[in-house]
Amino acid sequence: MEQFLNQYSKEKYLAADFVAEVLKLDQSSLKVITNILKELNPSGNSFQVMFDLANQIAMKRKISIADVLNEIEVEQILNKDKISKKEKTSLIRKSLESLRYPEKQKILSDVSALVESIRRNHSVKVKLPQDLEGDTIELSFSIKSPENLESKTEDLLRLSKSPDIKRLFDHLLGRI
């Protein structure tokens, strides 16, 4: 495992102090990490982010990194046949983020449900600011006639008074 990690770190130009930190882990954690690296060959940056998240969770809960990775069922993710390595890496990272930042995940889930409700009930596309960092959303829609525009205008007026749009802005403005 150590030889593989050293080779991987050279290929990905990982800092020596970071590699030393990884190599200090218990054997079960090293085994799981090595398996992830062999299966997915993530970029050095992706690996560092995933490791940092798992390490923060482990330290906070006073458990091993192997326990954290088993909790997110990393083996099941790695064994999924129908998704790419990149998608598996993303899934592991998102799972770790949801463990590390449960409140953020709750907000993202609520915002996603609100956007879907607005899209479905008012037939508009909603574009949110990146990482929900901003207070402006973009709405877009298509019309086929002046009458269609009038109907859409009435629908937008109903949207402006809907609890979904108010709650969405409450999230963006940090009121929730």
Which tens digits make up the pLDDT trace of 68-83? Answer: 999 989 999 999 989 9
Do 82 and 132 share a domain, yes or no?
A: no
Q: Which domain holds residue 74?
A: 2-100
Which tens digits make up the pLDDT trace of 112-136? Answer: 999 999 999 999 999 999 888 888 9
CA gap 154, 150 in Å, rounded = 6
Do 128 and 143 share a domain, yes or no?
A: yes
Q: Which two tokens stand for residue 43?
A: 């970029």
Work out the average pLDDT over 5-12: 94
CA gap 176, 107 in Å, rounded = 9
Do 89 and 109 share a domain, yes or no?
A: no
Q: What angle separates helix 27-40 from helix 2-11, to the nearest 10 degrees?
A: 40
Do 17 and 85 share a domain, yes or no?
A: yes
pLDDT value for 174: 85
Do 93 and 108 share a domain, yes or no?
A: no
Q: Which two tokens stand for residue 175?
A: 């009121």
Do 8 and 87 share a domain, yes or no?
A: yes
- Residue where one domain finishes, among candidates 78, 100, 122: 100
- Residue where one domain finishes, among candidates 47, 81, 100: 100
Q: Is 148 helix (H, G, I), strand (E, B) or coil?
A: helix
When divided into structural domains, the chain yields a total of 2
Do 29 and 78 share a domain, yes or no?
A: yes
